[in-house]
Homo-oligomer: A and B are copies of this chain.
Amino acid sequence: MNSLTAAQIAALCNGKVEGNASISVSSFGKIEEAKAGDLAFLANPKYEEFLYSTQADIIIINESLELKQPISATLIRVKDAYSAFAGLLAQYQQLQASMLTGRQEPVYIHDTAKIGEQVFLGAFAYIGKNVTIGKNVKIHPQVYIGDNVTVGDNTVLYPGVKIYHQTIIGKNVIVHAGAVIGGDGFGFAPQADGTYAKVPQIGNVIIEDNVEIGANATIDRATIGSTKILAGAKIDNLVQVAHNVEIGSYTVVAAQAGISGSTKLGKGVMVGGQVGIVGHIHIGDGAKINAQSGVSKSIEPGKAVTGSPAFDYTSALRSQSAARRLPDMEKRIAELEKLVAALNSK
């Protein structure tokens, strides 16, 4: 970041300076690791000890915090230190992103493509037939956009993203490097002779506004119709979304999870890392699926599950805990059998 004074930072986040208002910083740091020239923050009381030892030059803290000893750094007091710091980071990132415009060379752009204002087009990017790109979109180097794709305003496609034909992407979407959107669903019809015939996959993928998709994730096109990622959903790295799946609004899917064909996830669902979900089921709004679970049946709204196969979270934890005592239980049964046999032979 460019150098900013404590006074400037306080102005940006509605804070009050305590200390040297003209001292300046040019980078961000964690309070426990920060060095001279860094801006840090303290929100979690667990980290308060670092407030008195950090090398950071400026620290954003809650206005309510009472100091236990003098501090050499300049403080900026705000209502909520975490929000203020995150807000500064977001402003900083937006500023950086907005500077990214223009067209590098070479790129491949089909004659029929329509490209909006202030779009960044990185080198070796490919834009196919009848593609429509909105305003202010950032298409990083080596991105592939197939025929008839639409990309909404302010969307960011990181290097090497591959978007197959017919995909529709909304506004303010972020897709990270290497993600593949719109590849063929995995559909093969078994033949009498033991071979398979490919089932053509002629649907598409629709990604609504404010979705974020992680690096090297794969979202398959529908057999017919659309695979849908609804507004605000967040998909982590290396996630697999099969054909005709629908992922609800503001649903979060952690890394390496996989969702099989035609399954629908409701709103605000939380899917842990490495979870597997079978096809053709429904996960209710607000359900929580613990990491590594294997979900084989539909889940009611709001319910939490864990395990493979997954069942009710609390019961499953009890079973898991009992499972650790299994060898002991087996001995107790053997002991009981002996005792009962002895009683019976009396």
A256 to B273 alpha-carbon distance, docked (Å):
11
What residues of chain B lie closer than 8 Å to A141, measured between beta carbons?
108, 126, 144
Contact present for A224 and B28 (CB under 8 Å): yes
Identify A142's interface contact among B29, B92, B144, B195, CB under 8 A.
B144
Contact present for A162 and B144 (CB under 8 Å): no
Could you say which interface size class chain A belongs to? 35 or more
Tell me if A164 is interfacial: C-beta within 8 Å of chain B: yes
Count of identical protomers in the assembly: 3
CB-nearest residue of chain B relative to A235?
Answer: B186
Contact present for A216 and B216 (CB under 8 Å): yes
What residues of chain B lie closer than 8 Å to A93, measured between beta carbons?
200, 202
Q: Which 7 A-B pairs have CB atoms at the shortest separation, nearest pair first?
A: A89-B200, A108-B123, A322-B326, A180-B215, A183-B215, A162-B177, A144-B159
Contacts from A to B (Cβ < 8 Å):
28-30, 33, 86, 89-90, 92-93, 104-106, 108, 122-124, 126, 140-142, 144, 146, 158-160, 162, 164, 174, 176-178, 180, 183-184, 186, 188-189, 194-200, 202, 210, 212, 214-216, 218, 220, 224-225, 232, 234, 236-238, 240, 242, 250, 252, 254-256, 258, 260, 267-268, 273-274, 276, 278, 291-292, 294, 308-309, 311, 315, 318-320, 322-327, 329-330, 332-333, 336-337, 339-340, 343-344
